């Protein structure tokens, strides 16, 4: 996990399987529209072009930024996107020149090559492809994404190595998605792999990715739900785009697409245009049962959707909480249709509950054995890595943690 991944003109080592080019300069198709555009699927590009035609607020904000903010840290990405939508060659050449001056901004350079590469000479493409840049951290999604994007942009990528899949899935399933910057990079990586290699990495962890939109939303502290930073907002929109039809995606879309969250200025404006799709289905997130549990050892819950709600996160790292009353950990606590039961003694009594009510025991040692009665028959279970156990629906009465 600590090994470095280095991009050079010969190969992408360790993670990415590549096809070596016969020349460092790449022969591009006569029309850039024939290329498999990273992040710009035909459907997404048509939406952006409609935004331009209709002069939507997202497009107008983006165009204003293009015209006024020349020192933007996202200038290459912004110019490349503007060219992809408008075919304004002046802006496209500006994007290429920006890339030549910032050759180690790998993600932005890759997108410029992919979107506006037909405006670059063979020599310029060679300079961009042969840039001598610092190594990538192999375990970070940003490095994995940037390496993959460069491979696609330079026509050197043929397949994704199994080790890349393993590292990526291990990272995200272990809770890495709680970092909005890294989640966003992961979403771009997944989107790029699907669009260019026609591979769906999410299929190797279907249940996790099915629950991920809810985990991300419920994992936000109350203040972040009310006033998210721009990257949290954009990561949510990008995550929704991976599968808009998931129930969790529709709750997340309902939250992220609210007018109050629309980014109107700053470096997030271009991302707002790219990912802010008002045509996707969204439902009121306030209707989401406010808890989600993952057997890997994660629980996110809140008492309601008010800014003053008691919010908790229980993971292998411990307990995090906000706005919760004193002493709440010593007694059963209700979060929506879930009751959280602390084990304060070797045994505890689980009260009866309705069929639609869930119960989770916590404050158990990680992987500790648990015994309980099921229809008068003694059964055994094991706590998860964070010391929690979700009770089967028919369990009530005495439950004990055993040595």
CA–CA distance from 44 to each of 5, 28, 146 (Å)? 31, 22, 21
Identify the pLDDT of residue 23.
Answer: 37
Under the banding of pLDDT at 50, 70 and 90, the label for residue 402 is: confident
Which 8-state DSSP code applies to residue 7? B
What is the pTM assigned to this prediction? Answer: 0.90
The span from the CA of 34 to the CA of 187, in Å, is 24
Q: Is the pLDDT of residue 140 over 90?
A: no
| Whole-number pLDDT of residue 393 | 81
What does DSSP assign to residue 325?
P
State residue 389's pLDDT score. Answer: 97
CA 115 from chain centre, in angstroms, equals 23
Residue pair 310/324 in contact by the 8 Å Cβ criterion: yes
Residue-wise pLDDT for 53-99, tens only, equals 999 999 999 999 999 999 999 999 999 999 999 999 999 999 999 99
Residue 113's pLDDT is what?
97
| Measured distance CA(69)–CA(285) in Å, rounded | 35
Q: Are 334 and 321 in contact (CB under 8 A)?
A: no
Q: Read off the pLDDT band of 138 (50, 70, 90).
A: low
Contacts 24+ apart (CB under 8 A), 343-348: 343/401, 346/400, 346/401, 347/398, 347/399, 347/400, 347/401, 348/398, 348/399, 348/400
Structure tokens given for 167:
């590292």
pLDDT digits (tens, 9 = 90+) for 290-317: 999 999 999 999 999 999 999 999 999 9
Lookup result for tokens 């992220």 = 256
Predicted pLDDT of residue 24: 39
Average pLDDT, the chain: 90
Res. 122 pLDDT band, cuts 50 70 90: very high
Q: Higher pLDDT residue, 175 or 14?
A: 175
Domains of the chain: 4-287 (1.50.10), 291-402 (no CATH)
- As a whole number of angstroms, the distance between CA 320 and CA 313 comes to 5
Position 330 pLDDT exceeds 80: yes
Name 151's Cβ contacts closer than 8 Å, sequence gap at least 6. 12, 16, 18, 157
How confident is residue 1, by pLDDT bands cut at 50, 70 and 90? Answer: very low
> Residue 22 above 80 pLDDT?
no
Q: Could you tell me if 201 and 168 are in contact, meaning their C-beta atoms sit under 8 angstroms apart? A: yes
pLDDT of residue 107 exceeding 70, the answer is yes
Query: If you ran DSSP here, which 8-state letter would residue 267 be given?
Result: T
Lowest mean pLDDT among 30-44, 155-169, 352-366: 30-44
**42 has a pLDDT exceeding 80:** yes
- State mean pLDDT over 104-127: 97
Q: Determine the pLDDT at residue 35.
A: 55
Are 140 and 182 spatial neighbours (Cβ–Cβ below 8 Å)? yes
What is the reported pLDDT for 156? 85
pLDDT band of residue 382 (cuts 50, 70, 90) is very high
Exposed, middle or buried by CB within 10 Å (0-12, 13-18, 19+), for 351? exposed
User: When comparing pLDDT for 147 and 31, which is higher?
Assistant: 147
What tens digit of pLDDT does each residue of 237-286 get?
Answer: 999 999 999 999 999 999 999 999 999 999 999 999 999 999 998 999 99
Which DSSP helix (H) or strand (E) runs through 240? Answer: helix 230-242
Q: Rounded mean pLDDT of 96-109?
A: 98
| Displacement of CA 314 from its chain's centroid (Å) | 20
Q: What angle do CA 44, 48, 53 make, to 5 degrees?
A: 145
> What is the reported pLDDT for 36?
54
């Amino acid at each position: 996990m600590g090994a470095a991944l280095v991009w050079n003109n010969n190969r992408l080592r360790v993670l990415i399987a590549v096809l070596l080019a016969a020349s460092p300069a790449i022969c591009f198709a006569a029309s850039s529209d024939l290329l498999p555009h990273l992040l710009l699927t035909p459907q997404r590009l048509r939406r952006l072009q409609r935004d331009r035609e209709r002069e939507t607020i997202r497009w107008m904000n983006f165009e204003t930024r293009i015209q006024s903010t020349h020192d933007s840290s996202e200038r290459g990405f912004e110019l490349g996107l503007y060219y992809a939508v408008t075919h304004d060659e002046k802006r496209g050449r500006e994007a290429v020149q920006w890339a030549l001056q910032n050759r180690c901004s790998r993600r932005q350079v890759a997108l410029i090559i992919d979107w506006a590469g037909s405006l670059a000479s063979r020599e310029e493409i060679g300079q961009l492809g042969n840039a001598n840049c610092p190594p990538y951290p192999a375990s970070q999604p940003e490095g994995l994404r940037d390496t993959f994007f460069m491979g696609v942009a330079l026509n050197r990528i043929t397949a994704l190595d199994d080790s890349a899949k393993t590292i990526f899935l291990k990272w995200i399933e272990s809770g890495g998605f709680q970092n909005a910057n890294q989640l966003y990079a992961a979403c771009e990586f997944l989107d790029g792999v699907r669009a260019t290699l026609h591979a769906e990495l999410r299929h190797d962890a279907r249940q996790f990715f099915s629950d991920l939109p809810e985990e991300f939303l419920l994992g936000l502290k109350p203040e972040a739900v009310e006033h998210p930073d721009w990257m949290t907002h954009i990561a949510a929109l990008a995550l929704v785009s991976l599968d808009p039809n998931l129930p969790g995606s529709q709750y997340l879309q309902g939250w992220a697409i609210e007018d109050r969250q629309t980014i109107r200025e700053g470096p997030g404006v271009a991302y707002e245009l790219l990912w802010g799709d008002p045509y996707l289905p969204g439902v009121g997130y306030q209707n989401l049962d406010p808890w989600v549990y993952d057997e890997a050892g994660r629980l996110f819950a809140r008492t309601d959707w008010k800014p003053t709600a008691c919010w908790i996160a229980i993971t292998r790292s411990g307990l995090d909480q906000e706005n919760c009353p004193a002493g709440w950990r010593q007694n059963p606590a209700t979060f929506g249709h879930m009751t959280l039961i602390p084990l304060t003694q070797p045994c505890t009594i689980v009260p009866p509950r309705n069929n639609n009510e869930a119960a989770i025991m916590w404050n158990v040692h990680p992987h500790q054995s648990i015994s309980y009665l099921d229809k008068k028959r003694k059964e055994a279970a094991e706590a998860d890595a964070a010391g929690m156990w979700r009770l089967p629906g028919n369990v009530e009465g005495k439950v004990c943690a055993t040595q």
